[in-house]
Amino acid sequence: MNLSQGANTGLYSSRLKLFDPSNEKRCYMTKFFIGFLCSTLSLGCLATEFPAVGLLQQIPVMGADYKVIARPIYIFTNKKLTAPIVFTGMAGTEQPYIPVCCYQVKNISPLDLPREVKKYHKDEEFGSHMRGIRGYAYLYAAEPVSDKSKWTSIMSALIKKSSNPDDGSPFSAPVLAAMITAEKIPLKMGTPPNQTTLHTRYDEKSDRLVFTFQQGKQKIEFSEPTFAH
C-alpha cells in the first residue's frame, strides 16, 4: 500500500514538474526569443542593398596636333565592385534625366588614378580634370555594353562622335548600377523602400558641378570641375 502510494506520488510529482507554471513561462520566453531572432534574420536577408552610384568620365586625350589619341572611359564610384556590372548614365542638369545606356565594368580590379594620369601625361587638361574628381572611393575602367540593342539614342550619338578624331568633346554623367532603357529616368529609381534619387547643381563659388544621390537616409556626393569652354 505504501509502495503504491509512493509510486503514485512520484508520477504525480513528475506531472507537476511538466506543468509547472515557471517551466511554462521559460518555454514561452524561449520560443519568443527564437521567433524574434528568426524574424530579425529574415528581415536582414530580405533587405536589398542600395546599388552603387558614381560619376562617369569620358575625356578625350589630345595629341600634339590636337587630334584625339585615346578616349578612355572611367567610372568613379562609392562602392567596391564584387562582380562585373552595368551602369546607366543620367544626362541633363535637372529632372527628368535622360538615360545613357549602358556602360559595363568587366574588370573589377580598381584602377590607380595617378597611374592613369601618368599614362596620358602629355594632355595636361586630362590630368587636371581627373585629379579634380571628388567623392569617390574606387575607380574602374568602363566601356559601352556590347549589345547595341540596349543602347539609348544618346549612347548611339556618343559612339558616333567618338569615331571622329577631330572631335575633342568630353562627356561626363552621374551613373547608377542598373540598366535603364526607358525614355526618361524615373524621379525615384529602384523599388521602395530602397530607392535612389539624384539632385544636380552648379556651385558658382567653386565652379564645380555637384551630384548628390540620396539613398535612404544616406547622402552620397560627387563633384567635378567644369570643363573649359
Domain ranges within the chain, ordered by starting residue = 2-46, 53-225
For the chain, the average pLDDT equals: 83
φ, ψ dihedrals at 2, nearest 5°? -65, -40
The answer, yes or no, to whether residue 6 has pLDDT greater than 50, is: no
* pLDDT confidence of residue 119: 95
* pLDDT confidence of residue 45: 38
Residue with cell 519568443: 32
105 and 75 Cβ atoms separated by less than 8 Å: yes
Longest dimension (CA), the chain: 118
State how far the alpha carbon of 159 is from the alpha carbons of 13, 95, 122, in Å.
86, 24, 24
* pLDDT confidence of residue 208: 97
76 and 103 Cβ atoms separated by less than 8 Å: no
* pLDDT confidence of residue 43: 36
Which residue, 189, 171, 168, is CA-closest to 179? 189
Task: State pTM to two decimals.
Answer: 0.78
* pLDDT confidence of residue 229: 57
The grid cell for 87 is 551602369
The grid cell for 164 is 571622329
Phi-psi category of 179—alpha, beta or left, where left has phi over 0 and alpha has psi -120 to 50? beta
pLDDT tens digits, 169-199: 999 999 999 999 888 998 899 888 889 999 9
pLDDT tens digits, 46-85: 456 899 999 999 999 998 888 999 999 999 999 999 999 9
**100-114 average pLDDT score:** 98
Which residue, 174, 181, 177, 215, is CA-closest to 197? 215
**Cα atoms found within 13 Å of the Cα of residue 70, Cβ hemisphere only:** 12
The answer, yes or no, to whether residue 3 has pLDDT greater than 60, is: no
pLDDT tens digits, 219-229: 999 999 998 75
200 and 211 Cβ atoms separated by less than 8 Å: yes
- The dihedral built from the CA positions of residue 122, 126, 131 and 137, taken in this order, carries a sign that is negative
Query: Residues of the chain with pLDDT > 70: what percent?
Result: 79
pLDDT tens digits, 128-145: 999 999 999 999 999 999
